[in-house]
Structure formats: structure tokens, C-alpha cells
């Protein structure tokens, strides 16, 4: 069974600090690795994503580091702000086909509740 | 980006009844997905709905319990049948935008409580 393991379960960071969330996967059939941010009462929103042939991707304060050989990837949030307080999910996408239509199937990690104190 | 509207946003239902959740997208999309998020948990894929085809269910989910309709390229429904308290969860609709699997968007979800 394909799995994505995420840690830590919860994280408390001071404003301006660096938040680091880690994920590991077991199956090599994943093709894309997105991170989602979810606020209470809302659906997950795509934050940043990376392909397995890239070791790092940075968008503003958010950086994904990807280690293909170790089957691990992580999200770094620089200069963390109270507004970043949310639940973060890593995910892995495997490409499938249904009736001639290709699509991506998401497997989510367990989630990390991030709290950034002012 | 695709805008997804889900109805209802929340509901409280009695054991043994059924609830139909609607998902409306502001653009035509090929694939729509239904997820369940149990309290404090991650998201689990229930089924994939391709317009014009029968939905594909994930292990642990069956059509009799979670029938899905996909009548056109902008709309889908998920029914939670014969509900029990264990069905209390958030149910979310998701779609692939023009970017395909690189652009997956979620609705705000339907918070279901079963008494």
C-alpha cells in the first residue's frame, strides 16, 4: 500500500523562526510531490510542489527540499508568521488512467498542525 | 483557478438517513474526486468520478454506501447512505484544473455530523 509518512504531528514556532516539516514515502511510483495548507473550515490549498528530478524549489518564504535516494522531502517556512498557523499536508501523486483519461491520485501525509506564536 | 462550490457546508443528520452533497465547478473539468477527512485526520480518497463513466472507488469504500453521480463536466454529487455516527467527517470535492494533476483544487467541504 502506498504511504506517505509525515512528521512532526504538531509544531510550535516563534514568529520569525523557521518551520520544518518532513515527509517520507515508500513507493517509487510517485510522480509529483505537492504541499497543501489547510485553515479551519476550509479545504486544502496548494502551497508549493516539486518534481522528483528536482532537489529544491523555492517560492517566497516556502522551500521544498527533495532527496530522491532517501525517499524524503521536506517543507521549510522561513520567517514564519502567525498567519502561517494552519495544518500542512504533504502529498504524493501517482499518475493513473481511467477510460483513456490520465489523472493524478493524491496520497496525503498525516498532517502537521503549525502554530506560530507572535 | 477553478472555483468549487459545495453544498451543504454543514449538516447534522440522524442515524439511518442519507445525505447528498453537491459539488459545482465554475469550469468544465474531466476528473472530479471525493475525499473524506475524519476529525483531526488526513484526507482519504473515496472515489474518482470521470464524466460519462462509473465512478472508481478506493479500497474500503463501496458504491452502495457512497453512490456518486457525474451528470456533466461541471457537477457531481456524493451521497452518504444509511448513515451512522462513524460517518461524521468532512467530505471534500476536488478537481483537476487546466494544469492537470499539477493543479488540484479543493472545495471548502461539507462537515457532516451524524447523531
**Residue labelled with grid coordinates 458504491:** B63
Q: Which residue has the higher pLDDT, B28 or A98?
A: B28
Residue of chain B minimizing CA distance to A94? B101
Cβ contacts of B97 on chain A, cutoff 8 Å: none
CB contact under 8 A, A43 and B107: yes
- Using alpha carbons only, give the angle A70, A76, A77 rounded to the nearest 5 degrees: 170
Report the sign of the C-alpha dihedral through residues B86, B90, B95, B99, in that order. negative
Confidence (pLDDT) at A1? 56
Cα separations (Å) of A57 from A24, A75, B5, B106, B110?
A: 17, 10, 31, 23, 33
Residue A2 pLDDT exceeds 80: no
Cβ contacts of B102 on chain A, cutoff 8 Å: 32, 34, 49, 104
Cβ contacts of B50 on chain A, cutoff 8 Å: 98-99, 101, 103
Reading chain B (115 residues) residue by residue, the pLDDT tens digits are 789 999 999 999 999 999 999 999 999 998 999 999 998 889 999 999 988 788 999 999 999 999 999 999 999 999 999 999 999 999 999 998 877 888 889 999 999 999 9
Residues making up chain A, counted from first to last? 118
Confidence (pLDDT) at B2? 85
- Using alpha carbons only, give the angle B2, B6, B9 rounded to the nearest 5 degrees: 140
User: Is B100 touching A (CB cutoff 8 A)?
Assistant: yes
Per the CB < 8 A criterion, the answer to whether B97 and B103 are in contact is: yes
CB contact under 8 A, A43 and B41: no
Three-state SS at B15: coil
Q: How many CB atoms lie within 10 A of CB B83?
A: 21
Whole-angstrom distance, CA of residue B10 vs CA of residue A116 = 29
Smallest CA-to-CA distance from B110 within B22, B44, B31, B33 is with B22
CB contact under 8 A, A46 and B105: yes
Q: Which of A95, A98, A111 sits opposite B50 (nearest CB)?
A: A98
Confidence (pLDDT) at B102? 82
User: Is B31 touching A (CB cutoff 8 A)?
Assistant: yes
**Burial (Cβ within 10 Å: 0-12, 13-18, ≥19) of residue A69:** exposed
CB contact under 8 A, B50 and A101: yes
A interface test, pick of B10, B33, B60, B102 with most A CB neighbours within 10 Å: B102
Amino acid at each position: 500500500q502506498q504511504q506517505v509518512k509525515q512528521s512532526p504531528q504538531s509544531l510550535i514556532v516563534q514568529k520569525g523562526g523557521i518551520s520544518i516539516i518532513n515527509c517520507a514515502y515508500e513507493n517509487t511510483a510517485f510522480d509529483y510531490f505537492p504541499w497543501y495548507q489547510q485553515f479551519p473550515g476550509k479545504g486544502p490549498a496548494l502551497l508549493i510542489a516539486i518534481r522528483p528530478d528536482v532537489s529544491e524549489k523555492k517560492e517566497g518564504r516556502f522551500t521544498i527540499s527533495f532527496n530522491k535516494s532517501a525517499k524524503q522531502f521536506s517543507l521549510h517556512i522561513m520567517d514564519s508568521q502567525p498567519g502561517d498557523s494552519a495544518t500542512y499536508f504533504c502529498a504524493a501523486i501517482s499518475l493513473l488512467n481511467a477510460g483513456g483519461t490520465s489523472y493524478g491520485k493524491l496520497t496525503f501525509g498525516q498532517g502537521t498542525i503549525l502554530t506560530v506564536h507572535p | 483557478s477553478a472555483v468549487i462550490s459545495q453544498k451543504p457546508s454543514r449538516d447534522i443528520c440522524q442515524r439511518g438517513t442519507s445525505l447528498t452533497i453537491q459539488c459545482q465547478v465554475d469550469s468544465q473539468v474531466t476528473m472530479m474526486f471525493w475525499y473524506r477527512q475524519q476529525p483531526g485526520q488526513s484526507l482519504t480518497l473515496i472515489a474518482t468520478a470521470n464524466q460519462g463513466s462509473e465512478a472508481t472507488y478506493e479500497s474500503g469504500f463501496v458504491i452502495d454506501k457512497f453512490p456518486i453521480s457525474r451528470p456533466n463536466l461541471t457537477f457531481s454529487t456524493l451521497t452518504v447512505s444509511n448513515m451512522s455516527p462513524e460517518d461524521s467527517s468532512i467530505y471534500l470535492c476536488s478537481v483537476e484544473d487546466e494544469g492537470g494533476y499539477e493543479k488540484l483544487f479543493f472545495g471548502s467541504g461539507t462537515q457532516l455530523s451524524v447523531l
